[in-house]
Amino acid sequence: MARDTDTNLRNKVLYSIFVRNHTNEGTLKALEDDLDRIQELGTDYVWLLPIHPIGEVNRKGDLGSPYAIKDYRFIDPTLGTEEDFRHLVEEIHKRGMGIIMDVVYNHTSPDSLLAKEHPEWFYQDRTGSPTHRFVEWTDVIDLDYNNVRLWDYQIETLKYWATMVDGFRCDCASMIPIDFWLLARKEVEEVNPTCIWVAETMYPDYIFELRDEGFYAASDSEVYAAFDATYDYDSRSLMEGYLNGIVSFESFLMIKQRQEVQYPENYIKLRFLENHDQKRVQTLVKSERALLNWTAFLYFEKGMTLIQAGQEKGILHTTSLFNKDPLVWEKKEGIDLTWLFKKLEQLKVEPTFSSEHYHLTGDKDCASLYGYYQKGEERWVGIFCLRGADASMFVDIPDGTYRNILNNEDIFVEEGRVRIHGMPLIFKAKSPPKRSELVYSPYKEQVSLSVREQTGV
């Protein structure tokens, strides 16, 4: 973790936008008309997928991927001009939001400016031609950071954009040396000392694959040296496996718990249920009650929250990265959760949610997660049945009546147990009179309760 990372970033919400497909016009100017709605969701940062010119050689689809960049220092003319971009940034700032630019420094398009002017800055195959490390990435060629002159060019580019934007989301950050990112962060601070850095880290399987081939690939723990937040891909495959019925509840819970001890104490994860590389969450979670619980847990879990444009409206279609494929905002497909996003944003700004004192456990029998943030004697509690079913589970808080902030209904804790009626439960409570601790035991393949300083329980 970068030492000067502000843990208040855990209270922030990012909203991801692919400009070309966000509106029918697909321009920076047209996006401005949606900023008020985006702000009302509780958005803190607007993250734009790459907005640079796209290469033509080996294009995928009709228009090509925004991640096959031709020139890092210009705006794609089909989206608008740099003046349009500056005006958009101004409008975002007027609404109290920040803007995050997508940085794609692992690769360029085969016909990029850098490929033409500095072919020696790229990985090369046995014939001396620029190449890529992943076979399926046929529309890009990979940069080789063994060339120190490349570092100077890339950092100068970052410093240019950092005078306009509030942060960078760095694509494939794990594939680029940490020493480069450390230097980049240091130099960018000269022009923008409050710039935030979000790393797209990798699935563990990808790290294994790259290292087996003799390539560099950093773990999340290494990446934290330079970045404020990393992707939650280390738990993503287990989440998908659980939803598909091939991973146990215990395994999913355990990977979430391990994050609390395998990363620095002030670590920040970028939490998401979907992004532009993933399926829409409502194609995975089809029960409305289960969806409410997964969405509430997304906001409750320690870390920054990422929302992909359209997620709040229940859009089921995954927009194409390679063609003109605008979001159909008026079409009623899935469940509109705008009301829930607005409710949860009120929760997200609570200072306690940036606390280090976060605990998560669960009950496999009812597939329910029980988490809390502790601050003094006060506790923010969240209970989420991932199946959206009626259930009952133990909670180590005093018996009494509490109020669910999501719907203002009463929650009753009796004899240490709470009834769940499908709806996620989030409420304030007092700590138990004596210290207790919920512990998950992977060896027993069950969620067990270890109570200290109590007898007869």
Q: What's the pLDDT at 57?
A: 97
Of 407, 393, 402, the closest CA to residue 438 belongs to 393
Q: What angle do CA 297, 302, 305 make, to 5 degrees?
A: 70
Tally Cβ neighbours within 10 Å of residue 210: 18
| Least confidently predicted of 33-37, 136-140, 312-316, 353-357 | 353-357
434 pLDDT tier (thresholds 50, 70, 90): low
With tokens 């991932």, the residue in question is 386
Mean pLDDT to the nearest integer, 43-59:
98
Tally Cβ neighbours within 10 Å of residue 349: 14
Question: Per-residue DSSP letters for 55-89?
Answer: P-TT-STTT--TTSBS-TTS--TTT--HHHHHHHH
Mean pLDDT to the nearest integer, 199-204:
95
Q: What's the pLDDT at 38?
A: 98
Q: What's the pLDDT at 33?
A: 98
Of all residues in the chain, what percent carry a pLDDT higher than 70?
Answer: 94
Mean pLDDT to the nearest integer, 383-395:
94
Distance CA 264, CA 127 (A): 44
Structure confidence by residue, pLDDT tens digits, 247-259: 999 999 999 999 9
Distance CA 79, CA 23 (A): 11
Q: What angle do CA 66, 198, 307 make, to 5 degrees?
A: 70
Q: Is 50 exceeded by the pLDDT of residue 444?
A: no
Contact in structure between 25 and 80 (CB atoms under 8 Å): no
2 pLDDT tier (thresholds 50, 70, 90): low
Q: What's the pLDDT at 91?
A: 98
436 pLDDT tier (thresholds 50, 70, 90): very low
β partners of residue 107: 142
| Least confidently predicted of 61-65, 256-260, 441-445 | 441-445
Local structure of 107: helix, strand or coil: strand
Q: What's the pLDDT at 306?
A: 98
CA distances 91 to 40, 94, 138, 286, 316, Å, are 14, 5, 37, 36, 29
Mean pLDDT to the nearest integer, 125-149:
93
Helix, strand, coil abundance in the chain, percent, nearest 5:
30, 20, 45
Q: What's the pLDDT at 455?
A: 33
C-alpha distance across the termini of the chain, in Å:
40
Q: What's the pLDDT at 340?
A: 96
Mean pLDDT to the nearest integer, 445-454:
38
Distance CA 228, CA 111 (A): 33
- DSSP code of 444? T
Q: What's the pLDDT at 400?
A: 94
Q: What's the pLDDT at 332?
A: 84
Of 295, 391, 386, 278, the closest CA to residue 335 belongs to 295
Contact in structure between 457 and 394 (CB atoms under 8 Å): no
Q: Is 70 exceeded by the pLDDT of residue 451?
A: no
Single-letter code of the amino acid located at 291: L
Residue count of the chain? 457
Q: What's the pLDDT at 454?
A: 37
Contact in structure between 17 and 8 (CB atoms under 8 Å): no
- Dihedrals φ, ψ of 361, to 5°? -145, -165
CA distances 172 to 74, 142, 233, 323, 452, Å, are 21, 11, 12, 22, 44
Q: What's the pLDDT at 322?
A: 97
433 pLDDT tier (thresholds 50, 70, 90): low
Q: What's the pLDDT at 378?
A: 83
Structure confidence by residue, pLDDT tens digits, 204-238: 999 999 999 899 999 999 999 999 999 999 999 99
Q: Is 50 exceeded by the pLDDT of residue 10?
A: yes
pTM score of the predicted model: 0.92
Q: Is 70 exceeded by the pLDDT of residue 449?
A: no
Of 385, 309, 308, 307, the closest CA to residue 348 belongs to 307
Of all residues in the chain, what percent carry a pLDDT higher than 90?
Answer: 84
Quick one: three-class SS letters along 168-220?
EEECCHHHCCHHHHHHHHHHHCCCCCCCEEEECCCCHHHHHHHHHCCCCCCCH
| Least confidently predicted of 147-151, 312-316, 371-375 | 371-375
Contact in structure between 94 and 72 (CB atoms under 8 Å): no
Distance CA 268, CA 231 (A): 9
- Dihedrals φ, ψ of 155, to 5°? -70, -40
Q: Is 50 exceeded by the pLDDT of residue 441?
A: no
Structure confidence by residue, pLDDT tens digits, 141-183: 999 999 999 999 999 999 999 999 999 999 999 999 999 999 9
